[in-house]
Structure 1
Amino acid sequence: MKTYSTSEVAKVVGLHPNTIRRYEEWELIPIPPRAENGYRVFTDYHIETIKIAQIAFQIEVLQSGLRITMVDMVKAVARYDFTEAQALLDHYLNLVDQEISDANDVIHVVEEILDGKTEEEGTCLTRSEAAESLSVTSEALRNWERNGLLTIKRSKNNYRVYDGEDIKRLKIIRTLRSAKYSLAAILRMLNAIDQEKQDIKPLLNPTDPDDSILTACDNLIVSLEKAKNNASELKQKVNTMQSRFFNNKK
């Protein structure tokens, strides 16, 4: 079997040698054996695993544990657990589909806001219920509140309650955070909605498309579709690796 030094692997995959060592520390590749001189000895399996990681981390979508799922998938490949890797990719694809659905939902919410539609009364959720419905943590909701992105009402027993309009607002915040908008940028957009005398259309659909909530959602959907394509490609690559290297499993 052909073997490689750290610098040779780095050249093949287009990374710095220090990055290759980091991959080993992070358990993203199998631990390479050492030669008599103490140097690491890499194989084609290491190279293919690094290529898997490069595709896996190409799309930076952090929401709903997407990034963590990809990290776990690469680690599964690194320890030759192909069944677990495929299961994680299936899970990832399901998560991406849900994220695409959520982003489309926010587009619908923004369109309703532009049309002046309000949520019917009836929804009343606790913080934990609201967090669960949005697939975020309660701490994320606290952080958004602390940064002035929303003000939550209190029930008679002084508990925070989230109504339908709050959930709409939270959906917008969640999606914009997924699209990597800063809290300050999100606050500016939301403040436009809160100012009743201001025409919010220029701020929701501004001249500069980078400041548009609708554009942000569209761009996020494009990224998610790319992530979905990458995951489908990875499923094929993992199958190929299993066929090619299974007999070399330690």
Structure 2
Amino acid sequence: METYTPKQIANALHVSTTTLRRYEEQDLIPVVPRTNSNHRFYTSIHFHAFTTVRALLKGYNIPVVYEAMRMIKRSRCEEALWLVNEQQFQIQVEKQRVEEILTMIQHGEFKQYKNVKLNKYMRIGEAAKIAGVNTSAIRHWENEGLVHSERNNENGYRIYSISELRKILIISSLRKTVYYIENVKKLLNDIDTQKYDKIEHSFQLALEKLNNQLFLQLKGIAELMNYIHFHQKMNS
């Protein structure tokens, strides 16, 4: 049985031994054996596990990676595969909505988005449903000065115009690729002044990022499958 010291694996994966210890403490890898002098050492299955964690983290969120690795450790491999598959579905949905809103911007047509009949003004819950976000997100964007609401004279509820819904749709689509508030404000100003080429460029960058994330996810799945096969072999 081939064995490795923590430093050997850390060097191979270009991480610190502290990072390896953190993965171990998070219960992501099989139980680590000890030498007679109580020093930890790793075997091939640990090397596979560490390699899989590092590969998955490039394309998936940390909670998903950690939960999938814990599932495999407990021989719940099918559940782990369904978990990462759900994340791939989510990125597909994200790509579709970015493409839909980019098309609307290119054609200047927001009225038929998702075949929803839009009124001149809508309440925050309606705007959130159309944009696919929580109402708390819209309130946060309003506090940041990105969108603006009016008040219904009858009940005092927030209401949003079609132009503000357009901003909400743009923010919801680019929130994962446009990191700084000032950058978002500049983009929204561009849409107000009909500088659509800059908005389109931002959406194209968002699509490129999603394409790259998909590539990294598939590479992570390849490592995940290798690890599952090795894990099942070791436990058969």
TM-score (norm 1): 0.78
1:73 counterpart (34, 47, 68): 68
Listed one character per residue, the Cα deviations across residues 100-156 of structure 1 (whole Å, up to 9, x for unaligned) are 11111221232244xxx5647427654344334434333222211101000023233
Query: C-alpha separation between the residues in 2 aligned to 1:179 and 1:190?
Result: 15
Please state how far the C-alpha of 1:79 moved relative to its aligned partner: 4.0
Query: C-alpha separation between the residues in 2 aligned to 1:67 and 1:106?
Result: 28
Query: C-alpha separation between the residues in 2 aligned to 1:104 and 1:149?
Result: 22
Please state how far the C-alpha of 1:95 moved relative to its aligned partner: 0.5
Query: C-alpha separation between the residues in 2 aligned to 1:214 and 1:67?
Result: 30
Listed one character per residue, the Cα deviations across residues 39-59 of structure 1 (whole Å, up to 9, x for unaligned) are 222222222222222222224
User: What is the match of residue 138 of structure 2?
Assistant: 141
Residue correspondence of structure 1 range 166-245 to structure 2 within 5 A: 166-194=164-192, 199-201=193-195, 204-205=196-197, 212-245=198-231
Query: C-alpha separation between the residues in 2 aligned to 1:68 and 1:171?
Result: 27
Query: C-alpha separation between the residues in 1 aligned to 2:37 and 2:120?
Result: 68
Please state how far the C-alpha of 1:171 moved relative to its aligned partner: 1.6
1:102 counterpart (97, 104, 107): 97
Please state how far the C-alpha of 1:175 moved relative to its aligned partner: 2.1
Query: C-alpha separation between the residues in 1 aligned to 2:121 and 2:45?
Result: 53
Bigger mean CA offset, 66-75 vs 9-18: 66-75
Listed one character per residue, the Cα deviations across residues 156-196 of structure 1 (whole Å, up to 9, x for unaligned) are 311223454333211211222111331111012213433xx
- Distance of aligned partners of 1:25 and 1:111 in 2 relative to their CA distance in 1, 3 Å threshold: same
Q: Structure 1, unaligned stretches of length 5 or more? A: 61-65, 206-211
Q: Comparing both chains, which one has the higher relative contact order based on Cα–Cα distances under 8 Å and sequence gaps of 6 or more?
A: 2
Q: Structure 2, unaligned stretches of length 5 or more? A: 112-116
- One-letter identity of the residue aligned with 1:57: L
Query: C-alpha separation between the residues in 1 aligned to 2:208 and 2:170?
Result: 17
User: What is the match of residue 23 of structure 2?
Assistant: 23
- One-letter identity of the residue aligned with 1:154: R
Q: Which runs of 4+ in 1 moved over 6 A?
A: none
Bigger mean CA offset, 134-143 vs 118-127: 118-127
Residue correspondence of structure 1 range 19-58 to structure 2 within 5 A: 19-58=19-58
Q: Percent identity?
A: 22
Query: C-alpha separation between the residues in 2 aligned to 1:219 and 1:74?
Result: 31
User: What is the match of residue 63 of structure 1?
Assistant: none
SS class of match (1:161): strand
User: What is the match of residue 209 of structure 1?
Assistant: none
Work out whether residues 5 and 39 of structure 1, in 8 Å CA contact, stay in contact via their aligned partners in 2.
Answer: no
Work out whether residues 59 and 217 of structure 2, in 8 Å CA contact, stay in contact via their aligned partners in 1.
Answer: no
TM-align CA RMSD? 2.8
Query: C-alpha separation between the residues in 2 aligned to 1:145 and 1:102?
Result: 22
TM-score (norm 2): 0.82
Query: C-alpha separation between the residues in 2 aligned to 1:213 and 1:29?
Result: 44
